[in-house]
A and B are shown apart, each in its own frame.
With several copies, the nearest count.
Chain A
């Protein structure tokens, strides 16, 4: 039993810290720390910095340009990036499509697409869930009909995808499409790469309750997709989907994000006053903060235990569902406390104040500008990525077998 990192891992941690100190632009970390919106340029900038260092695709095998990190090193990297308020790596290309191509793609596809993910020539988004299907991913009704013409083999895609995060920035989308309507649910699904500049592709924004444009609906009307954009076998796309869903869930708890958020909350609670003393000394608020801090320290160790198990060759099952549930509960609770800490100033909300060119009035403490919006936005955490109800179904199936 030893909860400490090895000397080698400590050296690695310092390496990451130095890198972040040197290379992470303050302009970006300030925006992240203050809950401001990142532009596509911001994200691309950060991706490029990481790529230059060879740390962008840190889940990829060395052969494809990955740094060859252990699960522990990945955890440390993730953790330090959060503490430094670095932008999140946009996962769709690097962490989602990449591994699928590496596992199921053919040589041509790998040689063509992987480098373009790294250098940012392609910006990917995800075409998985559909309106009315929600957590029931296998309920794919978007169709792809195989055809052949002068330009060669192709698919004609018709249908619609929902909840496409950051789709407005993307030029490529990977989709689950139904290539066989006879086959039952999970079968007859294929994994297709679609150029969003193709005629017939339309992206419509979906505004969330916090007034933000983050997710989109993507519509496909007779969209022609060259057959070579099929990944894996036709009708066997569910294998890719499942692989992607279970791939690399060791950071699903978002420990780093919560640790960083709690640090910010503590600073705020030390500054905000209540009954003439810092909010941090108010018994009710102090108790709420202490409870979430204790939950977080427990979850961090649970997460490390799971990582150690993975390093030891174990395959996380119910554990990652537990981490998803508790991780989102903690993140939601911290953003809820953050909102409470603002008192009456949680209500005023100037959308533009979250854009970096904003120079208008500031209402209340600086943290108030994003507190409520962030709280409402974080409601998604327990819904997306497999709702917490789905996670509980998974857990009970694994342990009860009923």
Chain B
């Protein structure tokens, strides 16, 4: 039993934290997050050079990490800086889908993703999915020279800037069937693909995709036809871990800011931190954040567990914990700050927004609690 990170990971975390502290100040981040581009290509290149992207991939896939704790270390740091660059969408989600399901030819693109020269996007959610993994309406039909895709994809991370999309589509079965889902690699230039981008409330941009008879050659099929669900689950599982770690980083900053405020802000002539009601609420907050940290550790440790149920339960348990605790931290931090905590100029407000919005990505608290229960029934059975 050992809760120390390896030397390599500590060094990675240090350099990443230093880089963010120097290059990603709140003002810089605010500018980037509101920019029309949705993120900073310069910063993105530097992440690549720092090896941050590569740290998210296994050595067999051209990276030099890819373990649960690599993802956790990187995303906790990204959460501290409220980083909006496409590490989740391009590296973790699309990257893992390609790594998990792709053939050698298809995996070739991983090098460019790791190098930051290619940005991939994960196009799985659909307008009516509401977090349900197998709920795929987009259809792919075989054609004389490959495949034709028709359908719509929702809230695709940095979709406007992607060169390449991993698209899930139904090649068989009815909506909701676990079997019959296939994955495809779709170029952003593919005729019939319409990408409409828009900003988000917590920074960065997303896009709505419509696929109107998008024609693909046979080589576009990623993995075995009809068996895409497993790769989707692996990719989303890694994404869930990434989001949980990101939330933990954001909680740390919100906690520090609130503690500092309680220590320095006076009201009725005394420091508000001297009010016992606030002291006890702050104690609760710290306690919960420690539980969130443990939840992330459990999820990271289980990420590559051979037993699917062990792995997925730990991931859902973490997302449930993060969903509940993230909202608590966001709401209590604002409340203890009072009016100032509601203002755009205060970084805290943006950490609070991010904490709440993380619950809206890859399954919210309720979704993962029900999933945790369902997986438990499978264990029992």
Bound-state Cα–Cα, A267 to B201, Å: 24
Q: Residues of A contacting B206 with CB < 8 Å?
A: 347-348
Bound-state Cα–Cα, A349 to B128, Å: 18
**Option from A72, A279, A373 in Cβ contact (under 8 Å) with B130:** A279
Chain B contact residues: over half helix, strand or loop, or mixed? helix
Q: With A3-B1, A372-B357, A375-B356 known to touch, is A207 a contact of B366 (CB < 8 Å)?
A: no
Bound-state Cα–Cα, A295 to B317, Å: 9
- On whether the beta carbons of A344 and B277 are closer than 8 Å, the reply is no
Q: Residues of A contacting B360 with CB < 8 Å?
A: 339, 342-344, 346-347
Question: B252 within 8 Å of A by Cβ?
Answer: no
**Option from B1, B127, B196, B370 in Cβ contact (under 8 Å) with A284:** B370
**A391 to B, closest residue via Cβ:** B283
**Option from B128, B200, B266, B349 in Cβ contact (under 8 Å) with A348:** B200
- On whether the beta carbons of B199 and A350 are closer than 8 Å, the reply is yes
- On whether the beta carbons of B286 and A344 are closer than 8 Å, the reply is no
Q: Residues of B contacting A208 with CB < 8 Å?
A: 342-344, 349
- On whether the beta carbons of B343 and A209 are closer than 8 Å, the reply is yes
- On whether the beta carbons of A392 and B154 are closer than 8 Å, the reply is no
Bound-state Cα–Cα, A319 to B293, Å: 13
Which of B86-94, B181-189, B219-227, B295-303 lies at the binding interface?
Answer: B295-303
Question: B49 within 8 Å of A by Cβ?
Answer: no
Min CB–CB distance B277 → chain A (angstroms):
7
Question: A74 within 8 Å of B by Cβ?
Answer: no
A-B interface contact total, Cβ < 8 Å: 260
Bound-state Cα–Cα, A295 to B341, Å: 28
Place the interface of chain B in its size category.
Answer: 35 or more
**B348 to A, closest residue via Cβ:** A209
- On whether the beta carbons of B287 and A395 are closer than 8 Å, the reply is yes
Q: With A72-B1, A372-B201, A384-B339 known to touch, is A297 a contact of B317 (CB < 8 Å)?
A: yes
Q: With A136-B267, A344-B125, A399-B259 known to touch, is A209 a contact of B342 (CB < 8 Å)?
A: yes
Bound-state Cα–Cα, A400 to B278, Å: 11
Question: B45 within 8 Å of A by Cβ?
Answer: no
Q: Residues of B contacting A300 with CB < 8 Å?
A: 294
Question: B11 within 8 Å of A by Cβ?
Answer: no
* Shortest Cβ-Cβ A-B pairs, 8 listed: A396-B279, A349-B201, A301-B294, A209-B349, A284-B366, A395-B283, A392-B283, A298-B291
20 pairs across A/B with beta carbons < 8 Å? A1-B6, A2-B2, A2-B301, A4-B1, A72-B1, A136-B267, A209-B353, A211-B201, A266-B380, A274-B130, A287-B373, A344-B131, A347-B360, A350-B199, A364-B155, A372-B356, A375-B356, A380-B339, A395-B286, A399-B286
